[in-house]
Amino acid sequence: MYKIPFSAPYSEPAGSPIRELFPFLSRPGMISLAGGYPSAGLFDQVGLQQACLRAMESPGQSLQYCATEGLPALRERLKEVSSARGVHCELEQLIVTTGSQQAFDLLVRVLVEPGNCVYVESPTYPATLQALRLAQSKIVQIPMDAMGIRIDALEAMLAKAPSDERPKLLYTVPNFSNPAGTLLPRERREALVQLALRYGFLIVEDDPYGALDFGSGTPPTLFELAGELAPDRNPVLYLSSLSKTVAPALRIGWMIVPRDVSRRCAIAKQTTDLCSSSLAQMIAAEYLNGGGADVAIEAARKEYGLRMRHMSAALRDQLGERASFVEPAGGMFIWLQTTREFDPKRLFEASVEAGVLFVPGRAFFEADADLHCMRLTYASPDCGQISEGIARLGHAFDAAK
């Protein structure tokens, strides 16, 4: 093949560290605690089939193109879903996207130029890092503790940042972050919004997991708090998704943003894909019209809570003092810190050998990676697989010592 002149960010792009795990996944008997997939067993198959049939009854609408901003019926439903979380908006502020990943990508297009600084959590979601890298932005990670972003550290960073390191955006998952599993307390949320107002940056509040709490609820969203603190200049761009609560296959995400932003994101989306699948949107709208979603989400919260407790007990049992973690209050992930005696590379290899897969910590850092950590999911494996998987992880710790 002759040499093709690729654009600079794509001349030698690194692949996704999670995709690098795919070859191991296909090994016979492998138990994966690595993916970010919700449990297929919890999908409301019957309810979605019925929604599918209802959608197909009006082919003129469900089989044709739809508006770039989304199918009107679905936008109305998502506005209601958001409103029930305290995120109130005008319809013009809401755009349906192909998952919340596309919402973030559109925001990066309309807001971030090469060299612009974007703050993210440390650790943070790998696809966010990748999107920012390919947009050639300057990525800065903010330290976290067991409760999420450390406001003291953030404030110190902002205060001393030279002008080219002032963030244009800050990306955060306040509800059950990926990978850390943290839930940001209300006081920190208010402080974060205040800092955004003071230093003039926008906050991308990504909220795919908020509905998956294990019983203790979540504080108000940043969007809602900011709306109270600064109704005329709310700096929060709210994203959410049906991927973790209804089904990833619909690829339905949405953003709620100021009209200036939504108008530009619609223009960006038009050149990106014209519109998301109107059939998938119609199915989602029909499904949300029925009462099945609440029942399915309630079942998922219970089951994920059970699995999380099962995994936590197994981890304490099998790993003891060799690793530590904070039990998450919702979401899909446990973030495990190992003691320094375990070489991360040897531990990963021993785990693959033992037949269990996790995502090594380095995937979640841009620089200064903390290698002595890993992300485990309890969402897709059942309790039996979790027991066996963590037992295998215990063997891997033994072998890697």
| Phi, psi (deg, nearest 5) at residue 372 | -90, 50
Helix (H, G, I), strand (E, B), or coil: what is residue 114?
Answer: coil
Choose which of 109, 301, 307, 392 interacts with its own copies (CB under 8 A). Answer: 109
56 versus 369: smaller Cβ distance to its own copies: 56
Interaction between residue 111 and its own copies (CB under 8 A): yes
What are the distances in angstroms from CA 33 to CA 154, 327, 355, 378? 31, 16, 11, 7
Closest separation in Å from C-beta 316 to its own copies: 31
Distance (Å) of CA 134 to CA 49, 52, 204, 206, 344: 38, 36, 18, 20, 27
Regarding 60 and contact with its own copies (CB under 8 A), the answer is: yes
- Residues 130/16, Cβ–Cβ less than 8 Å: yes
Residue closer to its own copies, measured from CB, 109 or 189:
109
Among 6, 84, 152, 156, binds its own copies (CB under 8 A): 6
User: Which of 266/352 has CB closer to its own copies?
Assistant: 266
Contacts of 200 (CB under 8 A, 6+ apart): 166
Q: Is 227 in the site for its own copies (CB under 8 A)?
A: no
Binding mask 135-164 for its own copies (x = CB under 8 A): ------------------------------
Query: Binding of its own copies at residue 124 (CB under 8 A)?
Result: no
Binding part of the chain for its own copies, among 257-265, 319-327, 337-345, 381-389 by CB under 8 A, reads 257-265
Decide: is 324 part of the binding site for its own copies (CB under 8 A).
no
Q: How far apart are CA 168 and CA 112, in angstroms?
A: 7
CB neighbours of residue 283 within 10 Å: 27
264 forms part of the interface with its own copies (CB under 8 A): yes
Of positions 25, 63, 91, 295, contacts its own copies by CB under 8 A: 63
Query: What sign results for the dihedral spanned by CA atoms 57, 58, 60, 61?
Result: negative
Residue 95 found at the interface with its own copies (CB under 8 A): no
Shorter beta-carbon distance to its own copies: residue 114 or 320: 114
Cα separation of the two ends of the chain: 46
Tell me if 53 contacts its own copies by CB under 8 A: yes
Quick one: 197 or 313, whose CB is closer to its own copies? 197
368: left (phi over 0), alpha (psi -120 to 50) or beta: left
HSE value, Cβ hemisphere, 13 Å, CA-based, for 157: 23
Closest distance to its own copies from the beta carbon of 41 (Å): 8
Asked if residue 237 lies in contact with residue 82, where contact means CB atoms within 8 angstroms, the answer is: no
Residue that has been written with the tokens 């969402």 in this structure: 379
Regarding 37 and contact with its own copies (CB under 8 A), the answer is yes
Q: Which of residues 359-398 bind its own copies (CB under 8 A)?
A: none
Q: Looking at beta carbons only, is 186 or 259 nearer to its own copies?
A: 259
Residue 91 binds its own copies (CB under 8 A): no
* Binding-site member from 32, 93, 102, 177 for its own copies (CB under 8 A): 102
Assess 43 for contact with its own copies (CB under 8 A). Answer: yes
The yes or no reply on residue 220 touching its own copies (CB under 8 A) is no
357-to-16, 322, 348, 349, 389 alpha-carbon distances in Å: 16, 18, 8, 9, 8
Of residues 160-219, those binding its own copies (CB under 8 A): 168, 202
Is 333:361 a contact under the CB 8 Å cutoff? no
Stretch that binds its own copies, among 85-93, 206-214, 276-284, 286-294 (CB under 8 A): 276-284
Instruction: Determine which residue in the list 21, 112, 308, 311 makes contact with its own copies, applying CB under 8 A.
Output: 112
Size of the site for its own copies (CB under 8 A): 74
- What residues form DSSP beta bridges with 140? 119
Conformation bin of residue 274: beta by default, left when phi > 0, alpha when psi is -120 to 50:
left
Q: Is 26 in the site for its own copies (CB under 8 A)?
A: no
Among 5, 29, 162, 291, binds its own copies (CB under 8 A): 5
Q: How far apart are CA 216 and CA 218, in angstroms?
A: 7
